[in-house]
Every structure is written in C-alpha cells, then in structure tokens.
Structure 1
Amino acid sequence: MTTSRKIAATAAAIVWVLALAGTVRADEPRILKELSPDGAAACFGRIYDASHLKTHPHQKVARIFFYHGPDPVSRPSEDPTDGLGSAGYNGFMTTTVRGASKPEWVGGWCNGQEEGAEKNAIHCGMECDRTMADVSLDAKGRLKVDAFDRYIYLDAGAEDELGKAEYERRALGTDDNGFLLERRPVADCKAEFARIAPANPALGDPLRIRLKPDQPFCFGRDYSAEHLASHPEQVTQSIRIFRGAAQVASFSARGDAADWPNGADLVVAMTTRKGGAKATQSYSCQGEADQWRCVATTAAGGASCDLSEKEIYLRRGANGTMMLANPKESLPLVDLCQAGSDTKSDDRVFRLEAMPQSACSQ
C-alpha cells in the first residue's frame, strides 16, 4: 500500500481534509546493528544502466534504494512531534520503474530473524502481515534484497477490483527480485525519497512555526463583485480567521507552548452576500500531520448539538497565505446545529491573505 501525500490545485484540496483523519504519532525507530554498527541511519541503493536493463527485459525496476532509520519521507508538520504516521517504521524501500518520473515507496518494520534462519538475515514486514523483503549483508557489505513481492504496491484484493490483466500490468516485473545494493551516503537516500513529492519552497515554514502561540494573527479575504459574479454558488462575501488578545490570553493560561498548536483557539467571522448578514464561530485546533484540524466549540444561540464533526482544516499556502477547507458545512454560513453534511455551495476552500490585526477586530 503506497503512502503518498499530495496537495495540488484547489479542486483537489478537499482530499487533504479527509485523508489524514487517523494520523498516528511516530515512534522512535529501532536501529539494527547488523545494518548500522554505529547506530546511525543507513542507506543502500542501485541505479541500473541501460545495458543491464536491456539484458533483463523482465526487470521493471530501474532504481532501487533501501533506507534504515527515521522516516525520510515526512515533511516538517503541524504536529509537534513532526510525525506523519510512520508508526515506528525503521525500513523504507523506494523503487522507480523504467520510464517513470518518480518513485513508489513503502515503509515497515525490520527485525532480525529467529534462530535457525540464515545468519544475519533480517525480515522487513509491513502492515496487514505483508512482507516488504528479506535483507542481509554479503561479505562485501552489500545489501541483498530477497523475497521482494512483485505486488508490493498493490492493495490486498486489488486483483478483484482491477481485473487480472490490469493487476499484472501494475505489478513489478518477474525479474524484480534478488537485488544487490551498494552502501551509499544517507544523503543519497534522502534525495531519492524527496523525489516522491518534491518540497515546494513557496510554502515556507509550517503554520505552527509561522504563527506563534503568544502572538495574535489575522487572515482574510474580501471577494470582489467580479469574483462573486463568476461564482454564483458562493455565499461568502468576506471572511476573517483570527486569534485575538482573548484567544492568546486563554492559551497562555491553560495551553502548553511546547505542544502548540494543540489547544489553540481561533475565531472565524464571515459576511454573506445575502443581505450582508454577519456571523462568527469559535474553534479549537489540534495539529494533525501537515494541517490543523479545528472543531467548532459553540453553537449559535446557545443551541445544544454535537459539534465534533463541525470541523475546518487549515494548511499553509504559497507565499505566506493560509488555506482553509470547509468539507462538512462547518463555517457560520448556516446554523451548525441544522447544517447538513457535505458542503454543497462553492464555499469549500478559501485562500486567505495575512492582514493587519485591525482587519479582524470584532
């Protein structure tokens, strides 16, 4: 099962608010002395040349790297642990097949074999009791990769869903096993894993670093008549999201700066295009991977209802902006206790600019 995380155009932005709901905090990986006698991360890899591939027509893998150590894939996140759910994985494999522009990868747990197994053999397993590979070092310190499953990047049951022909097409080649990888600098593995989803420099630091726990902030947008004319299903005329003096003081009194942004309170204020009605809503946030999940904390008019699914999501945008997603009618455009589930209007994703605090005064 692949684990790629992507955010692309606005049309795809709703995906990121759902895909990370079950994020697990990362545990410390166990470093095996067989692979790394000094206890540091270890890297092995091989890039096959054209002549090798020509003589091995049933080998699809053109590049293969194995990394033993902390998660090389995750970006600095909004979670204070910087973990994106590697769950203590200590083995990561990435392969690039012929003609592909980027690698596929898997992660799992590598442990020494039980008594009676081949000397120095290490079994690397994945979730759902699947095998990533069996690895061992040869006399020259090269990593032998065996028991490498051709279907490693396909989910269980995918054959029924895809059909046999497509399932085989997506699998690795019949000659993709028995790899022999050279030990390489750790930087080589990190560079290879970075090819999976290249970092966007325009995004800059995570929100938890850009926005300080002891400082207020204000982001917003006022939509022009031209924009609203071209988006007739958008209800929002203006929107502000902010932490003011009251929210900063509340976090100072009961929050933990080391755990920021968990427990951060903020307010969303909106003006609708229908009669210029104004509404505000308070939220409490938690860091989840590379986003903030903010759940509504009060219902309009003191109404009593379950607000646990009335949530918005925040992500850093390019060039200092903030992205806000509203997947389940969780903004104060409607009475949250009467709101439905999925947002039906054109008020699902907002790109907000930093504004002076005066623009967010209540």
Structure 2
Amino acid sequence: MANDTFPMGCYARDYSAEHLAAHPAQVAERLRLNFYRLDGSAPDSLLYFDVTALMANQGHAAQDGLGGEVMTETGFCNRPSGCGVEADGGTFEITRLADGVLEIRTSHLRVGMNGGIDHEGVYSSLGETYNEYTTYRLFAAQPEACSEF
C-alpha cells in the first residue's frame, strides 16, 4: 500500500453481543482508530493514529480485570501499510482499505488506561492470543465517533 493511500480520518466499530459471543477471545467491545497528520494534509508528512478501545469482558481483558475499561494509545505509520507504537508498544498492518472498510492485523498493540509511556499505567494488548494475529474490521465514520467515545 503506497504512502498516499494510507487512511485518513475516523474508523469505528461497536461489536454486537452476538459477534463477541462468536469470538470469545476478542478483547475490544468498541474500537476507534483515528488517522491524522500534524501539519495538515501534506502527503509526505508523518501519519499518526489514536486508538481507543472499550475492553470487552472476555478473553485476556476479562482475565486481567479490564472488562469495561476504556484504553487508549497513540502511534505513527512509517512504512507502507505499517503502523506502530514506540517503546515496544506493538504494531499493526493495514490489510484492507476499500469502500469505507479498514482491516488491521496485529499480534500485539498496546493500549493503556493512563496514556503515555510512564510504566506506571495499566496496559493491555488488542492482540487476542500471544504471538498470533488478530484482525479487526472497522468502518469509516464521522469524526465525532472518534472524539466522543
């Protein structure tokens, strides 16, 4: 995926109870992913993202007592289809971007309750199972969906 085809804007999904029941290891009940550039729309500038997840009361989120918690993280995309979080916070690949659908694949993408890399916060991962890929499908949404979680 070329750098000029990176997504921009908000992508969101609220997973239904039926979906979560069919995927008991899934750790996100609601997921928002917002892509933006700090200097506007210059196509060669660094692309950043904010991810926000309402953790599901299942999978390792439930085992860790994080079901119902809202967790966030910020990172950047630095290669075609690849995005990540500093300080070993994990990565995700963009595997689909077409017709308002965004799919990402991760084996580890850190999210935290206190934001930042302070090593005192509470952290989790959007990967469902250690060392295995998890795919999330999100849909293009209005900016408010990402700013009013």
8 Å CA contact 1:326, 1:347 repeated in 2: yes
Pair 330,344 (structure 1): closer, same or farther in 2 beyond 3 Å: same
**2: CA distance between counterparts of 1:282 and 1:265?**
7
Name the structure, 1 or 2, with higher relative contact order (CA <8 Å, separation 6+): 2
Matched with 1:332 is: 111
Aligned residue for 1:360, secondary structure, equals helix
Alignment counterpart, residue 286 of structure 1, candidates 58, 78, 86? 78
**1:356 is the counterpart of 2:145:** no
**1: CA distance between counterparts of 2:139 and 2:55?**
19
Aligned residue for 1:317, secondary structure, equals strand
**2: CA distance between counterparts of 1:316 and 1:218?**
15
Matched with 2:2 is: 78
Relative to the length of structure 2, the TM-score reads 0.71
Matched with 2:102 is: 322
Matched with 2:85 is: 296
**1:233 is the counterpart of 2:25:** yes
CA RMSD of aligned residues (A): 3.1
Q: CA deviation at 1:287?
A: 3.0
Matched with 1:271 is: 54
Q: What is the aligned length?
A: 131
Superposed counterparts of 1:17-56, under 5 Å: none
Percent identity of equivalent pairs: 24
Decide which structure has the larger Cα Rg and report it. Answer: 1
Matched with 1:131 is: none
Q: CA deviation at 1:257?
A: 2.0
User: Runs in 1 of length 4+ with deviation above 6 angstroms?
Assistant: 333-340
**1: CA distance between counterparts of 2:124 and 2:34?**
23
Q: CA deviation at 1:316?
A: 3.1
The residue type paired with residue 71 of structure 2 is A
Q: Deviations over 1:56-104 (max 9, x none)?
A: xxxxxxxxxxxxxxxxxxxxx3246xxxxxxxxxxxxxxxxxxxxxxxx
**1:311 is the counterpart of 2:108:** no
Q: Deviations over 1:212-249 (max 9, x none)?
A: xxxxx110111101111111111110100013xxx54x
**1:257 is the counterpart of 2:37:** no
The residue type paired with residue 83 of structure 2 is C
Q: Deviations over 1:285-340 (max 9, x none)?
A: 1232xx2x11214xxxxxxxx32x6112224334320111112x214179997769
Unmatched tracts of structure 1, length 5 or more? 1-76, 81-206, 212-216, 298-305
**1: CA distance between counterparts of 2:101 and 2:143?**
15
Relative to the length of structure 1, the TM-score reads 0.32
Greater share of residues in strand: 2
The residue type paired with residue 295 of structure 1 is G
8 Å CA contact 1:234, 1:347 repeated in 2: no
Matched with 2:129 is: 344
8 Å CA contact 1:312, 1:326 repeated in 2: yes
Pair 319,219 (structure 1): closer, same or farther in 2 beyond 3 Å: same
Unmatched tracts of structure 2, length 5 or more? 58-66
